[in-house]
Amino acid sequence: MDQHKIVSREAWVQARVALLEREKAFTRARDALSMERRCLPWVEVTKPYTFNTNEGEKALADLFGDHSQLVVYHFMYGPDWQTGCKSCSFWADNFDRNIAHLAARDVTLVAVSRAPLETLNAFRRRMDWSFDWVSSGGSDFNYDFDVSFTPEMREKGEIRYNYQASDFPVDDAPGISVFCKSEDAAIYHTYSTYGRGLDMLNAGYHYLDLVPKGRDEDGNQPMSWLKLRDSYAANGA
């Protein structure tokens, strides 16, 4: 850890108050940006998508349940993968305890992956998760929302991720997509974010941003330290 300047309590409070003003400005800017996000135009979703779920085959409209707003976490888990993405698992560790709070605000949260449903269920049991996780393996859903890529797309240089041309190294990528269902049952795509845009949904990273070492990540392989939650030793190593 780098050596930090050591000062009196009075000097620390002075520096902290100065930083507090910048934090308040950041909060106001974030609130304004969130408003702009909610004011984006919407796109009606008319293409039929089907998902394999533990309650049978469902359409996109069914994933909303009793709510009018749907948040989809695009969880990286390809059809032939032996285990789920450890980075997505880090995010998914934040989901379960928020489900009831989101429902109270008319929001359903669902994870979607291309892996077969039985594979998703087995990994969910291992990780002791209970959130809804469905398979999109039989539909174009992942491809249409730019989180899965075919060999042909890669060969032709047609992969797009985070709204730009990309050489994403594997065939599935993480993201969040948001949908709204109107009173007449029309479905609209309202927002999607990818890459670092997902940081805002990971409480673990926010805690790390508070401590002296921060995220303490390597710039070339920033998440090389990360393991599945059940793979750490008792001391966290």
pLDDT tens digit sequence for 38-89? 999 999 999 999 999 999 999 999 999 999 999 999 999 999 999 999 999 9
pLDDT tens digit sequence for 1-48? 678 899 999 999 999 999 999 999 999 999 999 999 999 999 999 999
Q: Is domain 44-201 given the CATH code 3.40.30.10 in the classification?
A: yes
**Taking Cα atoms as reference points, which of 194, 202, 57, 53 lies closest to residue 120?**
53
> What's the predicted TM-score (pTM) here?
0.94
Distances (CA, A) of 228 to 3, 62, 194, 231: 32, 31, 21, 5
